[in-house]
Structure 1
Amino acid sequence: MRKILTVCLGNYCRSPFAQVALTRRGGAAVTVRSAGLIGKWQDQPANPSMINAARRLGLDLTHHRGQQITPEDLAWADDVLAMDAAVLDTVRAIDDGHNTHKLRLYLPGRDVPDPMSQDETAFNDCAVLIEAGTALHIGRRRP
Protein backbone atom coordinates (compact mmCIF):
# COMPACT_ATOMS: atom_id res chain seq x y z
CA MET A 1 0.00 0.00 0.00
CA ARG A 2 1.34 3.43 -0.96
CA LYS A 3 1.56 6.05 1.80
CA ILE A 4 1.16 9.74 0.92
CA LEU A 5 1.55 12.75 3.21
CA THR A 6 0.14 16.11 2.10
CA VAL A 7 1.49 19.23 3.81
CA CYS A 8 0.42 22.87 3.94
CA LEU A 9 0.98 25.71 6.38
CA GLY A 10 -1.71 24.95 8.96
CA ASN A 11 -3.41 21.68 7.97
CA TYR A 12 -6.59 23.71 7.88
CA CYS A 13 -7.46 24.11 4.18
CA ARG A 14 -5.35 22.66 1.37
CA SER A 15 -3.66 19.55 2.77
CA PRO A 16 -6.81 18.17 4.45
CA PHE A 17 -8.71 18.57 1.21
CA ALA A 18 -5.88 16.88 -0.73
CA GLN A 19 -6.00 14.03 1.79
CA VAL A 20 -9.66 13.26 1.16
CA ALA A 21 -9.38 13.81 -2.61
CA LEU A 22 -6.38 11.48 -2.95
CA THR A 23 -8.05 8.93 -0.69
CA ARG A 24 -11.14 8.89 -2.87
CA ARG A 25 -9.11 8.49 -6.06
CA GLY A 26 -6.74 5.86 -4.66
CA GLY A 27 -9.16 3.79 -2.63
CA ALA A 28 -7.64 0.80 -0.87
CA ALA A 29 -4.35 1.18 -2.77
CA VAL A 30 -3.29 4.22 -0.73
CA THR A 31 -3.22 5.57 2.78
CA VAL A 32 -3.15 9.36 2.90
CA ARG A 33 -2.42 11.60 5.85
CA SER A 34 -2.13 15.37 6.06
CA ALA A 35 -0.20 17.71 8.32
CA GLY A 36 0.69 21.36 8.74
CA LEU A 37 3.88 23.21 9.52
CA ILE A 38 2.33 25.14 12.39
CA GLY A 39 0.18 23.84 15.21
CA LYS A 40 -2.27 26.74 15.30
CA TRP A 41 -5.18 24.48 14.27
CA GLN A 42 -3.99 21.35 16.08
CA ASP A 43 -6.98 19.08 16.77
CA GLN A 44 -9.33 21.62 15.15
CA PRO A 45 -11.73 20.92 12.27
CA ALA A 46 -10.94 22.07 8.75
CA ASN A 47 -11.82 25.57 7.62
CA PRO A 48 -15.63 25.80 7.17
CA SER A 49 -15.24 27.23 3.66
CA MET A 50 -13.04 24.27 2.66
CA ILE A 51 -15.57 21.88 4.19
CA ASN A 52 -18.21 23.50 1.96
CA ALA A 53 -15.95 23.33 -1.11
CA ALA A 54 -15.32 19.64 -0.40
CA ARG A 55 -19.04 18.99 -0.06
CA ARG A 56 -19.65 20.59 -3.47
CA LEU A 57 -17.24 18.04 -4.95
CA GLY A 58 -18.81 15.11 -3.13
CA LEU A 59 -16.17 14.83 -0.41
CA ASP A 60 -16.60 14.84 3.36
CA LEU A 61 -14.06 16.88 5.31
CA THR A 62 -16.08 17.10 8.52
CA HIS A 63 -14.05 14.43 10.34
CA HIS A 64 -10.70 16.16 9.83
CA ARG A 65 -8.72 17.37 12.83
CA GLY A 66 -5.54 19.39 12.33
CA GLN A 67 -2.12 17.85 12.89
CA GLN A 68 1.34 19.38 12.97
CA ILE A 69 4.01 17.60 10.96
CA THR A 70 6.50 15.39 12.79
CA PRO A 71 9.70 13.64 11.74
CA GLU A 72 7.75 10.40 12.12
CA ASP A 73 5.28 11.58 9.47
CA LEU A 74 8.14 12.10 7.03
CA ALA A 75 9.59 8.68 7.77
CA TRP A 76 6.15 7.04 7.40
CA ALA A 77 5.36 8.43 3.95
CA ASP A 78 6.42 7.11 0.55
CA ASP A 79 5.62 10.54 -0.95
CA VAL A 80 5.45 13.94 0.76
CA LEU A 81 3.47 16.47 -1.27
CA ALA A 82 3.82 20.14 -0.32
CA MET A 83 1.11 22.57 -1.37
CA ASP A 84 3.54 25.38 -2.23
CA ALA A 85 7.24 26.15 -2.60
CA ALA A 86 7.52 27.87 0.79
CA VAL A 87 6.04 24.82 2.52
CA LEU A 88 8.38 22.55 0.56
CA ASP A 89 11.40 24.64 1.60
CA THR A 90 10.37 24.41 5.25
CA VAL A 91 9.80 20.66 5.05
CA ARG A 92 13.26 20.28 3.51
CA ALA A 93 14.70 22.35 6.37
CA ILE A 94 13.13 20.15 9.05
CA ASP A 95 13.99 16.89 7.27
CA ASP A 96 16.96 14.97 8.61
CA GLY A 97 18.17 14.26 5.07
CA HIS A 98 16.75 10.74 4.91
CA ASN A 99 13.57 11.77 3.11
CA THR A 100 14.77 14.22 0.47
CA HIS A 101 13.85 11.84 -2.36
CA LYS A 102 10.21 11.83 -1.16
CA LEU A 103 9.68 15.60 -1.04
CA ARG A 104 8.03 17.49 -3.91
CA LEU A 105 5.33 19.96 -4.83
CA TYR A 106 1.77 18.71 -5.14
CA LEU A 107 1.59 20.39 -8.55
CA PRO A 108 4.95 20.16 -10.35
CA GLY A 109 6.41 23.63 -10.81
CA ARG A 110 3.34 25.36 -9.42
CA ASP A 111 1.94 26.37 -6.05
CA VAL A 112 -1.58 25.54 -4.92
CA PRO A 113 -2.72 29.03 -3.86
CA ASP A 114 -3.69 29.35 -0.21
CA PRO A 115 -7.36 30.43 -0.02
CA MET A 116 -7.10 31.48 3.63
CA SER A 117 -8.81 34.84 4.35
CA GLN A 118 -10.41 34.87 0.90
CA ASP A 119 -13.97 34.35 -0.30
CA GLU A 120 -15.81 31.11 -1.06
CA THR A 121 -14.78 31.31 -4.72
CA ALA A 122 -11.11 31.06 -3.75
CA PHE A 123 -11.83 27.94 -1.69
CA ASN A 124 -13.85 26.38 -4.50
CA ASP A 125 -11.12 27.15 -7.05
CA CYS A 126 -8.49 25.71 -4.73
CA ALA A 127 -10.50 22.53 -4.22
CA VAL A 128 -11.02 22.06 -7.96
CA LEU A 129 -7.28 22.54 -8.58
CA ILE A 130 -6.33 20.01 -5.91
CA GLU A 131 -8.94 17.52 -7.13
CA ALA A 132 -7.60 17.77 -10.69
CA GLY A 133 -4.08 17.22 -9.36
CA THR A 134 -4.96 13.85 -7.85
CA ALA A 135 -4.47 12.30 -11.29
CA LEU A 136 -0.80 13.28 -11.16
CA HIS A 137 -0.30 11.09 -8.11
CA ILE A 138 -2.75 8.21 -8.47
CA GLY A 139 -3.52 7.71 -12.16
CA ARG A 140 -6.99 7.38 -13.54
CA ARG A 141 -10.14 7.41 -11.43
CA ARG A 142 -11.45 4.11 -10.17
CA PRO A 143 -14.74 2.93 -11.72
Structure 2
Amino acid sequence: MARRVMKLTGAAVLAACAALYAAAPASAETIRVFVDQARVVKLARPADTIIVGNPQIADAAVQDASTVVLTGKGFGVTNLVILDRDGAAIVDEQVVVSRASANAVNVYRRSSLEALSCSPYCEAQLRSGE
Protein backbone atom coordinates (compact mmCIF):
# COMPACT_ATOMS: atom_id res chain seq x y z
CA MET A 1 0.00 0.00 0.00
CA ALA A 2 2.89 2.35 0.66
CA ARG A 3 4.03 1.91 -2.93
CA ARG A 4 0.63 2.87 -4.28
CA VAL A 5 0.67 6.10 -2.24
CA MET A 6 4.15 6.87 -3.58
CA LYS A 7 2.97 6.33 -7.14
CA LEU A 8 -0.03 8.60 -6.65
CA THR A 9 2.15 11.22 -5.02
CA GLY A 10 4.68 10.98 -7.84
CA ALA A 11 1.90 11.32 -10.43
CA ALA A 12 0.49 14.33 -8.60
CA VAL A 13 3.92 15.99 -8.50
CA LEU A 14 4.41 15.34 -12.23
CA ALA A 15 0.99 16.79 -13.01
CA ALA A 16 1.71 19.89 -10.90
CA CYS A 17 5.09 20.38 -12.60
CA ALA A 18 3.50 20.01 -16.04
CA ALA A 19 0.86 22.60 -15.12
CA LEU A 20 3.53 25.04 -13.92
CA TYR A 21 5.60 24.52 -17.07
CA ALA A 22 2.58 25.14 -19.32
CA ALA A 23 1.75 28.37 -17.45
CA ALA A 24 5.34 29.65 -17.54
CA PRO A 25 6.22 32.56 -19.82
CA ALA A 26 8.50 32.23 -22.85
CA SER A 27 11.83 30.48 -22.31
CA ALA A 28 14.45 32.26 -20.25
CA GLU A 29 17.00 32.36 -23.05
CA THR A 30 19.28 35.31 -23.60
CA ILE A 31 18.51 37.66 -26.48
CA ARG A 32 21.73 38.83 -28.12
CA VAL A 33 21.82 42.15 -29.98
CA PHE A 34 24.70 44.14 -31.44
CA VAL A 35 25.20 47.85 -30.73
CA ASP A 36 23.42 50.02 -33.32
CA GLN A 37 21.67 47.01 -34.85
CA ALA A 38 18.10 45.78 -34.57
CA ARG A 39 16.61 42.37 -33.90
CA VAL A 40 13.00 41.34 -34.49
CA VAL A 41 11.23 39.60 -31.60
CA LYS A 42 8.07 37.72 -32.60
CA LEU A 43 5.52 37.15 -29.85
CA ALA A 44 3.22 34.18 -29.27
CA ARG A 45 0.29 36.50 -28.46
CA PRO A 46 -0.41 40.24 -28.65
CA ALA A 47 1.55 42.50 -26.28
CA ASP A 48 0.09 45.23 -24.11
CA THR A 49 3.08 46.46 -22.07
CA ILE A 50 6.80 46.46 -22.94
CA ILE A 51 9.48 47.17 -20.34
CA VAL A 52 13.24 47.48 -20.93
CA GLY A 53 15.26 47.44 -17.71
CA ASN A 54 17.92 49.90 -18.88
CA PRO A 55 16.94 51.96 -21.96
CA GLN A 56 20.57 53.13 -22.36
CA ILE A 57 21.53 49.56 -23.27
CA ALA A 58 18.55 48.54 -25.45
CA ASP A 59 15.38 50.06 -26.88
CA ALA A 60 12.16 48.28 -27.86
CA ALA A 61 9.83 49.62 -30.55
CA VAL A 62 6.43 48.15 -31.32
CA GLN A 63 6.02 47.14 -34.96
CA ASP A 64 2.58 45.59 -34.42
CA ALA A 65 0.78 43.73 -31.60
CA SER A 66 2.91 40.62 -32.01
CA THR A 67 6.21 42.08 -33.30
CA VAL A 68 8.77 44.09 -31.32
CA VAL A 69 12.01 45.51 -32.73
CA LEU A 70 14.85 45.48 -30.19
CA THR A 71 17.79 47.83 -30.88
CA GLY A 72 21.17 47.72 -29.13
CA LYS A 73 22.10 51.19 -27.86
CA GLY A 74 25.07 50.55 -25.57
CA PHE A 75 27.23 47.69 -24.34
CA GLY A 76 25.92 45.74 -21.39
CA VAL A 77 23.18 43.52 -20.01
CA THR A 78 19.58 44.44 -19.29
CA ASN A 79 16.23 42.67 -19.41
CA LEU A 80 13.11 42.74 -21.55
CA VAL A 81 9.66 42.10 -20.10
CA ILE A 82 6.60 41.97 -22.35
CA LEU A 83 3.15 41.55 -20.79
CA ASP A 84 -0.19 40.72 -22.39
CA ARG A 85 -3.47 42.54 -21.67
CA ASP A 86 -4.06 40.41 -18.54
CA GLY A 87 -0.59 41.22 -17.15
CA ALA A 88 0.82 37.76 -17.84
CA ALA A 89 4.42 37.63 -19.06
CA ILE A 90 4.89 36.77 -22.73
CA VAL A 91 8.64 37.44 -22.62
CA ASP A 92 10.86 37.83 -19.56
CA GLU A 93 14.40 37.50 -20.85
CA GLN A 94 17.88 38.88 -20.41
CA VAL A 95 19.24 41.07 -23.23
CA VAL A 96 22.99 41.16 -23.91
CA VAL A 97 24.25 43.96 -26.16
CA SER A 98 27.75 43.58 -27.56
CA ARG A 99 29.86 44.88 -30.41
CA ALA A 100 29.09 43.62 -33.88
CA SER A 101 32.57 42.77 -35.05
CA ALA A 102 35.79 41.25 -33.82
CA ASN A 103 37.46 44.09 -35.77
CA ALA A 104 36.14 46.72 -33.36
CA VAL A 105 38.37 48.45 -30.82
CA ASN A 106 37.37 50.67 -27.92
CA VAL A 107 39.77 53.42 -26.83
CA TYR A 108 39.16 54.87 -23.37
CA ARG A 109 40.57 58.30 -22.53
CA ARG A 110 39.62 59.04 -18.94
CA SER A 111 35.82 59.27 -19.09
CA SER A 112 35.45 59.38 -22.87
CA LEU A 113 35.09 56.36 -25.12
CA GLU A 114 35.94 56.18 -28.80
CA ALA A 115 34.84 53.11 -30.74
CA LEU A 116 36.93 52.26 -33.78
CA SER A 117 36.13 49.90 -36.65
CA CYS A 118 39.33 48.35 -37.97
CA SER A 119 38.73 46.70 -41.32
CA PRO A 120 41.28 47.17 -42.75
CA TYR A 121 42.07 50.64 -41.32
CA CYS A 122 40.86 51.94 -37.98
CA GLU A 123 38.17 54.60 -38.29
CA ALA A 124 35.76 56.04 -35.74
CA GLN A 125 32.44 54.23 -35.71
CA LEU A 126 29.38 56.36 -36.28
CA ARG A 127 26.89 55.97 -33.47
CA SER A 128 23.18 56.62 -33.85
CA GLY A 129 22.10 59.92 -32.31
CA GLU A 130 25.53 61.54 -32.64
The interval holding the TM-score normalised by the smaller chain is under 0.3
TM-score, normalised to structure 2's length? 0.27
Larger radius of gyration: 2
Greater helix content: 1
Q: Per chain length, whose mean CA-contact separation is higher, i.e. which structure has more relative contact order (CA < 8 Å, sep 6+)?
A: 1
* Structure ranking higher in strand proportion: 2
